[in-house]
Amino acid sequence: MQPLIGRTALVTGASRGIGRAAALALARAGCNVAVNYLNAEEDALSVVREIEQLGCRALAIRADVSQPSGVDQMVKRAFADLGDIHILVNNAGINPARPFLELTLEDWNRTLQTNLTSAFLVSQAAIPAMRQQKWGRLIFISSVAAQTGGVIGPHYAASKAGMLGLMRSYANLLAKDGITSNAIAPALIETDMVRNNRNVRPDLIPIGRFGHSEEVAETVTLLATNGYITGQTINLNGGWYMS
């Protein structure tokens, strides 16, 4: 019943929304979990308490994953307290909203740094131990915006499309090492990110409702347990984009 027992996961941006649901779902499947956050300490600590109540170990780690020094400290702490990381969920992200012709280079750099560079930095730090174990799972939370352009803007769409290239490169490079690399491309999941965006409505989605974080988390657990899916983008979008 707990297919991931004895595994350790690191979920970036796990204090709220999709990351929180993914951390809890992985714990229900038996994982110990490092819960990364940036500001929401109380929320992160409540995720840790819920994981401990499930009988797993957990640790909240404050780190800005857009910064190499933050990633370095986060990964060292996760290794020191929970052991080698087997499952990495690159989830932390931002979606600064602004009319697209008003986007500044600072908006662009901050979005790319937080959504894409972070996934590169954390993956690069986690992969060597996965390689030694001959077992690992890289999971990238991309977005339907990578496929359609989405409703946020070019900075966000480009950051999420970049994650798909990163994911496929790792899938190729690591297939022989027992490491899979996959992405999930959600659309309009009801989290703070969507609640704070006045431009989105459930009727944009063919299914007629926003998705739930738990529906993304179920897919995270699937990708963490399955060893034969690699190099794929799993679309979780209520039919908004069909491939």
Can you give the binding site for ligand NAP, defined by CB under 6 A? 12-13, 15-19, 36-40, 43, 64-66, 91-95, 114-115, 141, 143, 186-189, 191-194
Least distance in Å: CB of 218 to ligand NAP?
15
Least distance in Å: CB of 14 to ligand NAP?
6
Say which DSSP state 83 is in: -
Question: Comparing C-alpha atoms, which of 50, 20, 25 is closest to residue 35?
Answer: 20
- Residue among 87 and 92 whose Cβ is closer to ligand NAP: 92
Least distance in Å: CB of 177 to ligand NAP?
26
Q: If you search the block for the tokens 């499309």, which residue do you land on?
A: 161
Annotated catalytic, 156? yes
Say which DSSP state 88 is in: E
Least distance in Å: CB of 5 to ligand NAP?
26
By the 8 A CB rule, do 212 and 189 touch? yes
- Residue among 3 and 21 whose Cβ is closer to ligand NAP: 21
- Residue among 62 and 131 whose Cβ is closer to ligand NAP: 62
Options 37, 156, 170, 228, the catalytic residue: 156
By the 8 A CB rule, do 92 and 110 touch? no
- Residue among 22 and 177 whose Cβ is closer to ligand NAP: 22
Q: How far apart are CA 153 and CA 148, in angstroms?
A: 11
Would you call 106 exposed, middle or buried from its count of C-beta atoms within 10 A (0-12, 13-18, 19+)? Answer: exposed
Q: Which amino acid is at 1?
A: M
Bridge-based pairing state of the strands 179-186 and 136-141 = parallel
The residues carrying an active-site annotation are: 156
